[in-house]
Structures are given as C-alpha cells and as structure tokens.
Amino acid sequence: MGSIFKTEAGEKEYYLCYEKSLECFELEGTSYYITTTSGDTYVTRFGDPGKEPLLLLHGMTMSSTMWFPNIQHLVQERCVYAVDVMGDFGKSKPALAIKNRQAANQWLLEVVDALQCSRADLAGHSMGGFLALNFALAYPKRVSKLLLYAPAGAFHRVSLKFFAKIYPALLFHTEKRIDQAFLWFSGKGEPLPPVFRAQVLSGYSHGKPLLQLMPSVFEQKEFIDYHIPTLLLIGDKEVIYPAGKAMANAKSLIPGLEAHLIAGASHSLTMEHAGAVNELTVRFLQRKPIDMA
C-alpha cells in the first residue's frame, strides 16, 4: 500500500499544494513521520515543546493544513501536534486500511505513545472529532481535555444528504462537484480559500482515501464514568445533522459539557468562523483541568 495516490505525479502535485497551504500558517513547524502498525503517520509540531501537548485531528479529506486559521491562537496555550489521519488525504502513508473503531484507536494510541504524551489535550473537526471522542472513550486517562468541532456522527446520525454531496465529488472529482460539496458545508456560502482549495482539488483528483471507518452514534452506556472536560462547538446552520438535537444529546451524555452554537456557522466553522472558535477554544484550554486521579 503506502500511498493513497493513484500515480507518483499526482502524489507529487498534492504534496506541493500541501506545502503551499502550510505557508498560510505563517508559523515555523517541524514535520516528521511516526511509524505505527497502520503505516507512517505525518505529524507537524508547532509552538513551544515545553508546553502541554494538544493533538489536532482534521476533518475528512481536509488534512492538517485545514487548521491554518486557528494555529496562531492555539500555540499561545499549547505545543500543537497536527496529525494527518491515517488513510485520509494528507501525507500519512498507510500500510493497511483502518476499518473499525478499535483499529482507529490502536493507530492513535501508537501516535500518542510515540510523542511520549502520558496525557494530552485532543481536538478534532468532523471525522476528526469522531475519532477524538472514540479515543477518549477508550483511553480516558490519556486525554486531559477534549475539544469537538462539529463532530461527525457521535451524538446524532449523519444526514444521508451528506453522502449524496460528498461521494459524487470523490467518485467523479470534477471541480464543479467538489466546489458544490464544500459550498454546501459553508455557512457563508463562500468557496474555500484559493490556496487550500487547490490542495483539496488535487487530493480529490489524484487520491482515493483508504480510511474505511464510518462515523456512527455512540451509545449511552459508553459514557458511564466519563469525566473528561469537554468542549463542543456546532454551527447553528449545520447541515450534516440537526445542530440543536445533536447538542441536546451530547449534554445528556457528558456531565459538565461546555457547548456552544456558533451563530451563522455551518460545518466549516473552524475556518469560516475562526474568530469565535479560537476565542472559545483558548478560554477552554486556559481553565485548570479537573483532577482525574
């Protein structure tokens, strides 16, 4: 396996676009691969290594470069590790496909162990949010705080319209179909920023994701004894599920949940409404964690 790309030329083009997107961070980062049983995981570290760690898991097909509007604020509080999800678009190189929740957790556990994080804050957008919560439920002692941005599934099943929008873009990968899919995610009705859009188009054109895990709704029994401080942000114009219902379900499952509906935001809230997301995130990170002993 080793690559999600159909050709070496396609992979090279995507990597060039990826590097241009990284320039939008306007921040020096250190990138490297971590070897896991699922393959080689690409991680970029930003900020002071002496600070507490925060791992970021991106949304489906977005890669770690999606965090460019957020990273400047996050490094004020944490040493940030942006992780390319194994089998998804990005620079990680899969050795095998992740097909279930257990395999996803094993992959992420190996990453956390390799980073020598006895405990870390964990944040994720969309599919990354699902993966983050999945890990927190399985390994609560390894997660200090959990930050969920419009997590896919998790608290409410994903709308069938989501699959009707995203799969034609993946299968036929025309610019029109890809733009239509991301416009649907937009609360402002705006296209992706040009540099990042070029990377997304390149990924859809030349790659095929190998992450075979579908986001699902977690059962109530999984939250027994759940005490991780958790932040949940969902746009009030969310399109992948009813925002209010998802938030109500989350509040019924997670004691002391801090939850906010972001006015005017849809699924692309971390990019389009970065100001509100960054402010709430930094405030949440600054709070002293509850003693989990």
156 is catalytic: no
Give the span between the Cα atoms of 74 and 256, in whole angstroms: 23
List C-alpha distances in Å: 112 to 81, 99, 149, 246, 283: 10, 20, 20, 28, 24
Catalytic residue among 58, 125, 206, 267: 267
Residues 6 or more apart whose CB falls under 8 angstroms from that of 51 comprise 77, 78, 79
Residues 6 or more apart whose CB falls under 8 angstroms from that of 74 comprise 46, 47, 54, 56, 67, 80, 278, 281, 282, 285
Burial class (CB in 10 A: 0-12, 13-18, 19+), 155: buried
**Cα four-point dihedral sign 168, 174, 178, 181:** negative
Q: What is the CA radius of gyration of the chain?
A: 17
Asked if residue 121 lies in contact with residue 145, where contact means CB atoms within 8 angstroms, the answer is: yes
**Residues classed as catalytic:** 267
